Amino acid sequence: MSFPGPPAESRLQRALQPAWSAFVDLIYPPLCSVCHVPLGDGARGWFCKGCEEALPLVEPPYCKVCGEVYDGAFTNEFRCANCSGRKLEFDFAVAACRAEEAVRELVHQFKYERRLHLRGALAALLLRTLDEPRLAQENLADWLLVPVPLHRSREMDREFNQSWELCLRLAQLTGIPAANALARIRETDSQANLDRDERLRNLRGAFALRKPRFWEKISLTQGRRILLVDDVFTTGATTSECARILRREGGAEKVVVITVARG
C-alpha cells in the first residue's frame, strides 16, 4: 500500500532537519515508551526490542466483523458471540493489539494521566491496522479519518479528545485526511456496568453530525469511505452508533472501525 507523503517541506527545512533531530535527541534522548530504556542513537521507533516483541498484537483468528480475538485454530471465517444476532452498523472493526499488559497501561496513561506525548507510540500501533488484508487492498488516500467524539464538557475536563489526537497523528503518517465530522450532543452515563442492550439504549441520541463551519463543504461525509478511529473497542456499541449516524445522516458509503486496542 502506498500513501502520499507528508506535505512538501522547503529546502531549508530539509537541510536543517538532521541537525534539529540530533539536537532534540541530545536534550531528550528517545526512550522506549513502555520501559523507558534509551533507544540508542538514531532510533526512530517507539519501543525497545524486548517491549516491541512483547506487544499483545491481534493476530488471526479473529471475528471478521467485530475483531474479537480467539485462541486456538479456526480455519473458516466466523462470527463471534459478541456480534451474532446483533446489528452492527459499521462494515467491520480492526484492532492493532489486545487491551492487555503494556498496551492497556499506555492507553490509560494517555487518556487519564494526560501523557499526550504517548500519542506517537499509540498512533504507530494504530497504523498497523491498515495492514489488515481487507484494508491493505484499498486506496486509503481516498478515505477519511473520523474520530469518535467526546462531549464538550468531557473534552474540556480532559483538555483533548484522545481519538482526534490519534487521527491527527495517523493523518501525518499516511496522508489520509482527517475531519471531526461527528459531535457528541448528549452526555451519557458510564457504559462500564451496562450490558449490551443497555449500552445501545444509553447511546441513542448521543451523537450527531457536526454542523459544518461556513468555509467547509456542506457534507464532509457524503459518499465517503470512512475510517472511524477510537482508542479502545469494547462491545462496539459506541462505534456502531457513530457509524449509524455517519451512514444514515452523513451519507457515508462505508465505515470501518480502527482502534489501538481490543478490550
Q: Is 81 in the site for Zn ion (CB under 5 A)?
A: no
> Applying CB under 5 A, which of residues 1, 15, 35, 116 lies at the interface with Zn ion?
35
Radius of gyration of the chain (CA): 19
Q: Which three cell numbers stand for residue 65?
A: 466483523
CB of residue 205 vs Zn ion: minimum separation in angstroms?
Answer: 25
Work out whether 94 is an interface residue with Zn ion (CB under 5 A): no
CB of 35 to Zn ion, least distance (A): 3
Is 147 in contact with 259 (CB distance < 8 Å)? no
* Range list of β-strands (E), 124-253: 144-147, 182-184, 207-209, 225-233
CA angle 123, 124, 128 (to 5 degrees): 105
- Tell me 9's DSSP state: P
Contacts to Zn ion from residues 15-34, by CB under 5 A: 32, 34
For Zn ion, the binding residues in 99-118 under the rule CB under 5 A are none
Q: How far is the CB of 108 from Zn ion (least distance, A)?
A: 17
Three-class SS state of 21: helix
Comparing CB distances to Zn ion, the nearer of 10 and 76 is 76
Closest approach of Zn ion to the CB of residue 195, in Å:
16
Shortest CA distance to 146 belongs to which of 257, 233, 2? 257
Q: Does 83 bind Zn ion (CB under 5 A)?
A: yes
Q: Select the residue interacting with Zn ion from 48, 102, 171, 227 (CB under 5 A).
A: 48
For binding to Zn ion (CB under 5 A), which residues are involved? 32, 34-35, 48, 51, 63, 65-66, 68, 80, 82-83
